[in-house]
Amino acid sequence: MSHTLFTSESVTEGHPDKIADQISDAVLDNLLANDPNSRVACETLVTTGLALVAGEVTTESYVHIPDVVRGTLARIGYTNAMFGIDATTCAVLTNLDQQSLDIALGVNTGGAGDQGMMFGYASNETPELMPATIQYAHALTQRLAEVRKSGEVPWLRPDGKSQVTVEYDGDRPVRVHTVVISAQHNEDVRQSDIVETLTEKVVKAVIPEHLFDDKCILHINPTGRFVIGGPHGDAGLTGRKIIVDTYGGVGRHGGGAFSGKDATKVDRSAAYAARWAAKNVVAAGLAERCEIQLAYAIGVPQPVSIRVNTFGSSEVPEGEIARAITEVFDFTPASIIERLGLRSPIYTPTAAYGHFGRTPERRRPTTGGDEVQFFPWELTDRIEDLKTAIGS
């Protein structure tokens, strides 16, 4: 097998686009907490000293949007105007209208909220059944936030990025070839200290030892300075990190973003369902890699097409896997929402560090209320059903 390189990136929760995603999902969660049937399509723009929230919402609930915006910014760490935006003093503008009644005609009867295609993917190259490149890139950005918030690295600021290049022997990861980290920092820290600290406390703390060797190339703050960042360095918009949100460029993407959308939007719910199905296929040992495409017509409940691709990694014919998937999983929007509990306020944690490859867990939402299942599409709870459907 030939040796090849593949690269994926991640960004921290303080990246401008991720700030926007988290605000949009926080608005969604707060609306769902009071009215689980809320229809939400919420978009956010952040720039220096300003957050603008716009979109279409139909709900029986009321949420004070400025409080949600300021609370999200404070949680991330934007509590100082020098960082580009201050949760206490920034301007917050809102422009929310009612969802189109024409769209509601199709959704109210259980149909898809829009047309489009969605992809789900899984691979056995990591324990999370995710591509190694994106899984390690997310781990690096999560670690940056962890050492910043704990005070272990006090000169870090919220904005940051990571990038991981993995060397593969065929489909098997054999080593991490290159790591790139760009981390926002205070003015008075030296570049040599940044490199040494982030190498020891972030890179070596995250990259598995069996994949990290002395030949690994490290680019840490390669420009030599990253003081101006956050919304001051670059405006942020909801939905601009769709590859970071999914599989890091491995597999395909239907083009639809997730954050700020309630589960009647199949851009979100069907992408979650496709990941759920693909992950169970790989977890069941039916394939080493699996990609599932779903496609919908607006107002129509059943997918117009379902396609399974195992990239030659299964001894079971793809047609048999596709038949088993359609027997085990119901991909109508109403069923996806019910089976995965997607009317619960579980979305804000998805808006940074990826929607997939996370540990499913039961806990209380930040909006209050009873415990609910977070990341339910990561459950491998259909393994035996798939094996039975296949007949093995």
Active site residue 56: yes
Tell me the Cα Rg of the chain: 21
Q: Which of 9, 13, 17, 291 is catalytic?
A: 17
Active site residue 330: no
Handedness of CA 110, 111, 112, 117 (dihedral sign): positive
Active site residue 15: yes
Q: Which of 13, 18, 262, 284 is catalytic?
A: 18
Distances in Å between the Cα of 138 and the Cα atoms of 14, 25, 291, 357 are 13, 19, 21, 10
Active site residue 201: no
Q: Which of 70, 185, 232, 240 is catalytic?
A: 240
Taking Cα atoms as reference points, which of 53, 17, 11, 9 lies closest to residue 240?
17
Active site residue 240: yes
Q: Which of 21, 43, 125, 378 is catalytic?
A: 43
Distances in Å between the Cα of 37 and the Cα atoms of 31, 55, 57, 343, 375 are 9, 17, 11, 7, 19
Q: Which of 143, 148, 157, 161 is catalytic?
A: 161
Q: Spell 60-83 as b/e; 16+ CB within 10 A means b.
A: eeebebeebbbebbebbbbbeeeb
- Specify the amino acid at residue 29: D
Residue that has been written with the tokens 């997310």 in this structure = 138
Active site residue 35: no
Name 180's bridge partners.
Answer: 163, 219
Active site residue 18: yes
Handedness of CA 342, 269, 243, 256 (dihedral sign): negative
Structure token digits, residue 362: 């039961």
For the chain, give the number of residues. Answer: 392
Q: Which of 54, 104, 205, 235 is catalytic?
A: 235
Active site residue 324: no
Q: Which of 267, 329, 356, 378 is catalytic?
A: 267
Q: Which of 70, 138, 185, 261 is catalytic?
A: 261
- Among left, alpha and beta (phi > 0; psi -120 to 50; other), residue 332 is beta
Active site residue 204: no
Q: Which of 6, 226, 329, 356 is catalytic?
A: 226
Q: Which of 9, 15, 268, 374 is catalytic?
A: 15
Structure token digits, residue 214: 């002395």
Q: Which of 56, 86, 146, 318 is catalytic?
A: 56
Active site residue 43: yes
Q: Which of 39, 148, 265, 279 is catalytic?
A: 265
Q: Which are the catalytic amino acids? A: 15, 17-18, 43, 56, 161, 226, 234-235, 240-241, 261, 265, 267
